[in-house]
Amino acid sequence: MPQSSTRHSRAGLIAGALACFVALAAAATPLRADPIADFYKKANLTIVIGYNVGGGYDSYGRALARHLGKHVPGEPTIIVQNMGGGGSRKATQYIYTVGPQDGSVIGIVSRDIATDQLIGSGRIQTNKLAWIGSISNETSVCATWHTAKAKTWDDFLTIGATMGASSGGADTDTAVALIKNLLGAKVTIVQGYNGGSGINLAMERGEVDGRCGWSWSSVESRNEEWLKDKKINLILQFALEKNAELPNVPLIMDVAKTDEQKKVLRLLMARQAIARPVVASHGIPADRLAALRKAFDETMKDPDFIADAKKVDLDVAPVRGEAIDKILADIRETSPAIIAKAKASLKSQ
């Protein structure tokens, strides 16, 4: 055999033996464990919804539950649990006091939870929550029925209006109290209606002139015909920044007359930017929180989730957990005097 052929043959044998050795070594080396995936493969992930079945938060929570699991390492089974009570305060307290602190329980709760420690009942301690993200930010509106005398913000300041509300402490109540106590609107609050649908019926019957604290996304999805037929007058929008869909409706930040009023509104309107927050307990391990935040962000971009949300008329305008952390850090710097003024502004009685 020629010498060059022998050298090639030996080289081939060496290369083959080396490849075999590498393959055997790789097979003998265990794959690096993924502790996050290992945890969620063994544990279900429960989403506690802070309201009863059938409402807006329930719809958002169930839509999230249908798609979040595939983005969480280990792809856990998602379990939905409704826990209404106290404007989602019962569910929130369960999450950070009674429920598991290991990341196997998260919840979707009211936006008011974000400021409860400062200007609410004080029962909820926001520093005991880990914020995963919010499915949307929100603009709320004040509106009157088309036959009402008050059709503009100036009318609210001069003519006045009677506004329906469900109960003390609900958005429909506190939004009216705010414009009355802080901004001088001549409005009267009529409480006791059975949710938003009850107030809408009262408007149609002429029992009240209108309602405030009304989610713009709900108006668009559930009362599209009213908008089309001009059955309601849009008086004011509640948000930190103007909604692009409402260019001709005054922003509450812009109708404030004094620096003190603007500071109060910046504190209160921060809740609008965290419309549908998803939270975990502060006891969650940092790596699991990071994994859930990443999974949440991916879900918000998931075409299947977006299509599902659109099918049931849910507004998706996500806010990342890190952005919520910043919003909350900013409002914690609010002075005691402004906090006291904000509290007083929300009292309907």
pLDDT tens column, 78-105: 999 999 888 788 999 999 999 999 999 9
**3-class SS shares of the chain: helix, strand, coil, % to 5:** 50, 15, 35
As beta bridge partners, residue 141 has 214, 237
At the top level of CATH, which class does the domain 140-271 belong to? alpha beta
At the top level of CATH, which class does the domain 35-137+274-335 belong to? alpha beta
pLDDT of residue 96: 94
pLDDT of residue 342: 94
* Among 256, 96, 244, 251, residue whose Cα is nearest residue 182: 256
The CA angle 316-318-319, to the nearest 5 degrees, is: 155
Considering the chain, what is the average pLDDT of its residues? 89
Question: HSE on the CB side for 318, CA within 13 Å?
Answer: 22
Please, which residues have CB within 8 angstroms of residue 181's CB and are 6 or more apart in sequence?
344, 345, 346, 347
Domain boundaries, the chain: 35-137+274-335, 140-271
* Among 59, 56, 64, 120, residue whose Cα is nearest residue 92: 120
Distances (CA, A) of 114 to 119, 217, 242: 10, 20, 21
Please, which residues have CB within 8 angstroms of residue 158's CB and are 6 or more apart in sequence?
186
pLDDT of residue 64: 98
What is the distance between the alpha carbons of residues 174 and 345, in angstroms, rounded to a whole number?
8
pLDDT of residue 12: 52
- According to DSSP H, which parts of 77-215 are helical? 89-93, 116-119, 153-158, 171-181, 195-205
Q: Please say whether the beta carbons of 218 and 56 come within 8 A.
A: yes
Q: Please say whether the beta carbons of 185 and 236 come within 8 A.
A: no
The ranges of the chain with pLDDT < 70 are 1-32, 168, 349
Q: How far apart are the first and last CA of the chain?
A: 107
DSSP state of 135: S
What is the distance between the alpha carbons of residues 9 and 271, in angstroms, rounded to a whole number?
75
pLDDT of residue 28: 44
Q: Which two tokens stand for residue 92?
A: 């929130």
pLDDT of residue 19: 52
pLDDT of residue 324: 94
Distances (CA, A) of 75 to 113, 192, 291: 29, 44, 12
* Among 173, 152, 153, residue whose Cα is nearest residue 164: 173
pLDDT of residue 10: 52
- φ and ψ at residue 182, rounded to 5 degrees: -95, -40
Q: Does this chain's domain 35-137+274-335 share its CATH topology with 140-271?
A: yes
Looking up tokens 């977006």, which residue turns up? 306
3-state class (DSSP) for residue 165: coil
What is the distance between the alpha carbons of residues 31 and 35, in angstroms, rounded to a whole number?
12
